[in-house]
Amino acid sequence: MIRHTLTSLNSIAAIGADTIIDVRAPSEFAEDHVPEAVNLPVLSDAERSRVGTIYTRQSAFLARKTGAALVAANAARHLQGPLAQMGGDWQPLIYCWRGGQRSGAFATILDQVGWRVHLIEDGYRSYRRQVNKMLYDTPLPHRIMLVDGGTGTAKTALLHHLRGEGAQILDLEGLAGHRGSLFGALDVAQPSQKMFETRLAAALRSLDPTRLTWVEGESSKVGARVIPPVVWAAMHRAPRIEVSAPVGARAAFLSTAYADLTQDTDALIALIDQLRGYHPAEVIADWQALARADNWQALAAQLMIHHYDPRYTKSQARAAEKPQQVVLGDLTADTLAQTARDLIARFN
């Protein structure tokens, strides 16, 4: 077996293993894991809890004995299942929480089979320290340009058109699984904060710091996920463009971009109800009536004019530098694609 100490996030790729195996319990893996890792737990969540209970209530020896039996049984299932087709030249990279008994036991079994087994010294904790260093301690080296603008100005769509035209982007909403407002939740649950940071670190590593990276302007949180301080500080320092468009064009765009909300009127009405702390009851009732009448563009326009635009204007008044304006007559795909080309020619 070969043990590796991570000195950077790129070290995992440099090791040259064929498969990264996380042997932690499924709940640990679900919260966060090394990118591209597969979960082959040597103890299930229930088994891990059982071993821990034996350790605290009975003895360490009995806990190790019970754990060893469970690890052996689970390793056998993995060998007869997902690993059955692996050839003799296959090289796995194995890790657990701290590079201890779980990864060591599984690595020993695979080593005895004859595979060249790699281990991450200090396990997942080693990887997590590197993520924290990148996102919490070290200034971001990337050149950033913010794409700003009020709600409904197609910022995310423009970001994707920029990528389609060859620009470099960082899609925070995509990484966080949320569109960034009260109405921005998607059908899938957001990743944990740690998983969001893992995705963010991986995305940043894939970018060339010498090239301009386009990032959508956000608040400090995307849904329930907090943008780490190093990235947030870089966004604050970055120059920005501000996209604007007529309210009618923005309402039409939102009615399409948020079409999923129109499929469940009761859920949308419940979301509007959460705005009661900001607006009179009669205004809330009017918005809910528009939702019941399927008048989506009128509802979108009212929400922008009376809720989102005033808040955006207030937040922008505190900005140190004024943005460069990008005024669009409509927000069609053709217009956004041409705008992306113009921005690349202008700034890259």
Q: Could you give phi then psi for residue 59, rounded to 5 degrees? A: -160, 155
pLDDT tens per residue, range 264-300: 889 889 989 999 999 999 999 999 999 999 999 999 9
Q: Which of 243, 272, 71, 55 is nearest to 182 (CA)?
A: 272
Q: What's the token pair of residue 338? A: 């041409």
Set out the domains of the chain in order of their start, with CATH numbers.
Answer: 2-133 (3.40.250.10), 140-347 (3.40.50)
Q: What's the token pair of residue 252? A: 């039409």
Measure the CA angle with vertex 152, ends 285 and 267; round to 5°. Answer: 40
pLDDT of 13 = 84
Catalytic residue among 6, 23, 75, 96: 96
Strands (E), the chain: 2-4, 19-22, 38-39, 92-95, 118-120, 143-149, 168-170, 212-216, 221-222, 225-226, 240-244, 324-327
Q: What's the token pair of residue 263? A: 């499929």
Where is 270: in which H helix or E strand? helix 265-273
**Polymer length of the chain:** 348
CA 220 vs CA 93, 183, 229, 230, 231: distances in Å: 35, 17, 9, 12, 10
Q: What's the token pair of residue 38? A: 């597969």
Measure the CA angle with vertex 175, ends 170 and 178; round to 5°. Answer: 115
3-class DSSP state for residue 152? coil
Q: Compute the mean pLDDT over every residue in the chain, rounded to the nearest whole number.
A: 93
Q: What's the token pair of residue 291? A: 């939702």
Q: Which of 269, 296, 301 is nearest to 285 (CA)?
A: 269
Q: What's the token pair of residue 163? A: 């990528």
Q: At 159, which amino acid appears?
A: L
| Count of helix runs (H) and strand runs (E) in the chain | 16, 12
pLDDT tens per residue, range 187-208: 678 999 999 999 999 999 999 9
Question: Does 309 participate in catalysis according to the annotation?
Answer: no
- Full pLDDT tens readout for the chain, 348 residues: 788 888 888 888 888 899 999 999 999 999 999 999 999 999 999 999 999 999 999 999 999 999 999 999 999 999 999 999 999 999 999 999 998 889 999 999 999 999 999 999 899 999 999 999 999 999 999 999 999 999 999 999 999 999 999 999 999 999 999 987 777 665 678 999 999 999 999 999 999 999 999 999 988 999 999 999 999 999 999 999 999 999 999 999 998 888 888 888 898 899 899 999 999 999 999 999 999 999 999 999 999 999 999 988 888 866 667 899 999 999 999 999 999 999 999 997
Identify the residue whose tokens are 């009669």.
282
